[in-house]
Structure 1
Amino acid sequence: MSRRRWAAGAVVAALLATAFAAAPAQAHRGDGPRVVGYFTQWGIYGRDFVVNDLVRSGAAARLTHLNYAFGFLDAQGRCVSADPWADWQKPFPADRSVSGEADQPGQPLAGNLNQLRQLKQRYPKLRVLISLGGWTGSKHFSDAALTAESRREHVRSCIDLWIKGNLPGAAPGAAAGVFDGIDLDWEWPGSEAAPGNVVRPEDKRNFTLLVQEYRKQLGSRPDLTAFLPANPAMVERGFEVRPVFEELTFATIQGYDYHGTWEAVTNQQSALRVPAPDFSGQVAIGAYLDRGAPRNKLVLGVPFYSQGWTGVTGGGDGLHQPASGPAPGTWAPGNEDYKALAAKVDQFTVHRDHRAGHAWLFDGTTFWTWDDPVEMRRKARFITDRRLGGAMVWSLDGDTADGDLIKALHHGLRR
């Protein structure tokens, strides 16, 4: 699953030990670029991607922050779980557990949250955040941010549920200590994004006030981050950049979904440099720098998935050509995990635009955007050359079992 449009295997113990030993020791220090990855709550179902897969692939050893997506808001603007079974009820067997021990009936905490707790015990410098909202969970953010009272109650409910760990039906504080902060993924203040989202002209000011209320109630130690759009018009319409960044630990900036199959012509989804008014990493980062955001708080998003079209006509290398519709995807039309395309990349020709900073696959009929290890290293150079705050991954379940993308990205950022 991607943030659509503009919103929007076991391994033997000896191999695990080798992977951990090979991971750079500085991966969790605060003295280098951040490597932020989103773990999707629903990935444990169809994709069968569990927290322990981050250990097996080596991803966990290379992350500084892990964002757990997503917590939702109810119609009253209070924080709720989108899936209690996945979050804290589902038992994991020994071979799927970070600890190597099976969950037992009656234990205080199970589910993904217990696995995240075990992950933090194994990697004590890893910061884990609950991400709130997302494409399908942002409907009531405007209501939550509307008044001083609604903001106080919203933040209080989120801290109680996710930071203090007071889960419905569980012992008080059962999940305390799992999360080290909160990631706000309101898509988007002042812009509808998903159909049906509540939008108000005053969202821009109210987002600032909401962030300030979060910082007030959280205090200075927990992380407070936000996922922010790439579209400069949306930045102008929805965000008071300077005061917002004064409260945030850092922000992750949309570095993908610049184009996709909601359009009838093939295009890049994550280019670093293309001329404005088209979208690119350079345009997105520039929109925040121009409005006073500190470079070291800007974390550029990178995709571990592709956008794809089929029925492409016009010849050539397939770029900027008309298409009949979305290419078939495993989980959604026009969308495919990197690992699925990597398994059949020999069926395509790989094209790269080194100047614009993006790549794509084309077989004469089907076109896929292509963010492979080469492009991850290119994005890492872009980030380090501009002294930005790091990279963010949407989402970790798109990588190969060996962590090819996260390893390339991490290595590039640490050079």
Structure 2
Amino acid sequence: MRHPSPHHRAALAAAAVVSLALTPLAVAAGPAEAHSGGDNGKVSVGYLTQWGVYSGFSTKNLIASGAVNKLTEIDYAFSDIAPDGTCSSADPWADWQKPIDGANSVDGTSDTWTQPVAGNFHQLAELKKAYPNLKIVMAIGGWTESTNFSAAASTPESRAKFAQSCIDMYIKGNLPGVVPGAAAGIFDGIAIDWEYPDEAGNGNPHGPQDTHDFTLLLQELRDQLDAQGSADRKHYILTADTPSGAEKVSHIEVGPVSRIVDWMNVMTFDFHGPWETAGPTNSQSNLFPSPFDPAPRPTRDDPYPDNGEISTAEVVANYLAHGASPRKIVVSIPFYAHGWTGVAPGPHDDGLYQSATGVAADVDYNQIAAQPGTVHHDLFSGAAYKYDPASKTFWTFDDPQSIRQKVLFIKALGLRGDMTWSLDGDTPDGQLMNVFGLAQ
């Protein structure tokens, strides 16, 4: 691993006081690069889940909450990768087969059994019709659908086959069992969410070859998307969702990857959570480091300690140190909360940095208000959290105040924008999206 330069370390220390002190990083990292999305190039990306159609969160909800007015792009999660290394739908019924009734339809009309494309895909097409500046991107992989990435990226032939199949299905719109081209024009690009190159992720096959193969896979996609874009006279977006942990980042060729993609959605969340079953309680997405954080610091002998100290500012500094331009970095913000139980109040009666006896099931932000307790904001880290001394429950999440700080950070450094997982976690009136979208 290449460590941050003294310049980056000094700027990072100052960032703990005020984000504007990090502005020199943006200058040092190089000029802005060609971009798409928005007049000033800023992007606000929201993940829309395929399975929301079953839980009652429809595409129409984005209009009712006002979220659609804050977004430049929707990433649709997820496409699967078949064992033969080609793109395939994880749920064709949700994607294009399920008829959506008029009450849940973007345009107020019900799908029919005879139309070739219904389901989520048709609703996304209707949303684009109503909001023509909005981009729709197909996200491939994710935690549960990354099993076959390593094999698909392993040879020139497999990479070409993968890219061709994804473009054929999602850009040309050739869905299985449907009239050829019926879904053309819905998707404006592809997002690769490989979790993770040369890392097991959800028990996935992996190996050291993944590091360079990931770069080559993105280059193959970029080349084929550009060729298709030349024929269609448009630019097709290519992005990558990339990890935040320094050890995982060390298995990515950050500089080359950043020059291939339009930008990287850096997953600056899940820093801490229920996998640390006994705690100590901590933030899952803090903006800055705190001098009181008990998590272990990297050392020369142990550069990647388990559940080590981490912050969004440090993650961004690491990407810049590895050759990424600020214009290629998007900061990700969670719309959900992790929690612990059996947490003592601690010296400040807020449960922060305390041991736990168990974990609480994750909840969306729209459920946090119903949880008992008091919301706190940490002065040092910029993190939001909630603690209830009666039930001894601690929650870590982002709220409007913490997101405003992140938006200021994004603007101060000249970063590309923000991304969230996922849109169905917000309140019906869009409390988070109303500040999230300020990155535009």
The residue aligned with 2:428 is 401
- CA drift of 1:200 comes to 1.2
1:40 maps to 2:54: no
Higher relative contact order (CA 8 A, sep 6+): 2
| 1:283-332 Cα deviation digits (max 9, x unpaired) | 211121001101011000001110011111363311111112121xxxxx
1:56 maps to 2:64: yes
Count how many residue pairs are aligned between Structure 1 and Structure 2: 375
| 1:362-410 Cα deviation digits (max 9, x unpaired) | 0110000131111111111111111110000110000000111000122
Q: Alignment partner for residue 193 of structure 1, among 195, 201, 210?
A: 201
Q: Alignment partner for residue 352 of structure 2, among 319, 323, 329?
A: 319
1:84 maps to 2:99: no
Q: How does 1:165-314 map to 2 (within 5 A)?
A: 165-195=173-203, 197-219=204-226, 221-237=235-251, 239-263=252-276, 264-265=278-279, 266-274=281-289, 277=298, 278-313=309-344
Q: Alignment partner for residue 133 of structure 2, among 115, 125, 131?
A: 125
Q: Alignment partner for residue 151 of structure 1, among 145, 148, 159?
A: 159
Q: Distance in 2 between matches of 1:372 and 1:357?
A: 11
Aligned 8 A contact 2:287 2:381 in 1: yes
SS at match of 1:45: helix
SS at match of 1:80: strand
Q: Distance in 2 between matches of 1:372 and 1:244?
A: 31
Aligned 8 A contact 1:358 1:371 in 2: yes
Aligned 8 A contact 2:335 2:397 in 1: no
Q: Alignment partner for residue 337 of structure 1, among 364, 367, 377?
A: 364
Structure 2: give runs of 5+ residues left out of the alignment.
1-36, 230-234, 291-296, 299-308
| 1:3-26 Cα deviation digits (max 9, x unpaired) | xxxxxxxxxxxxxxxxxxxxxxxx
Q: Distance in 2 between matches of 1:381 and 1:246?
A: 25
| 1:160-208 Cα deviation digits (max 9, x unpaired) | 111111111111111111100000000000111112x010111001011
**RMSD across aligned positions (CA):** 1.3
Alpha-carbon distance change, 176 to 308 in structure 1, aligned in 2, over 3 angstroms: same
Q: Distance in 2 between matches of 1:76 and 1:198?
A: 14
Aligned 8 A contact 2:374 2:388 in 1: yes
Q: Distance in 2 between matches of 1:390 and 1:43?
A: 25
The residue aligned with 1:384 is 411
The residue aligned with 2:34 is none
Structure 1: give runs of 5+ residues left out of the alignment.
1-27, 328-332
Letter in 2 for 1:226: A
Q: Distance in 2 between matches of 1:159 and 1:29?
A: 24
Identity %: 47
Letter in 2 for 1:340: Q
Letter in 2 for 1:246: R
- CA drift of 1:32 comes to 4.5
Aligned 8 A contact 2:285 2:397 in 1: no
- CA drift of 1:44 comes to 1.5
The 10-residue stretch of structure 1 (391-400 or 311-320) with the greater mean CA deviation from structure 2 = 311-320
SS at match of 1:204: helix
- CA drift of 1:30 comes to 3.2
The residue aligned with 1:355 is 380
Aligned 8 A contact 1:254 1:284 in 2: no
Letter in 2 for 1:310: T
The residue aligned with 1:162 is 170
Q: Alignment partner for residue 149 of structure 2, among 129, 141, 147?
A: 141
Aligned 8 A contact 1:270 1:358 in 2: yes
| 1:117-170 Cα deviation digits (max 9, x unpaired) | 000001101111000000000011000000000001111111111111111111
The 10-residue stretch of structure 1 (315-324 or 65-74) with the greater mean CA deviation from structure 2 = 315-324
The residue aligned with 1:22 is none
Q: Distance in 2 between matches of 1:402 and 1:341?
A: 15
Q: Distance in 2 between matches of 1:348 and 1:292?
A: 43
Q: Distance in 2 between matches of 1:389 and 1:211?
A: 19
Aligned 8 A contact 1:372 1:405 in 2: yes
Q: Distance in 1 between matches of 2:220 and 2:383?
A: 39
The residue aligned with 1:368 is 395
- CA drift of 1:354 comes to 2.3
Aligned 8 A contact 1:230 1:283 in 2: no
SS at match of 2:124: helix
The residue aligned with 2:39 is 30
SS at match of 2:380: coil
Aligned 8 A contact 2:334 2:397 in 1: no
- CA drift of 1:267 comes to 1.0
Q: TM-score, normalization: structure 2?
A: 0.83
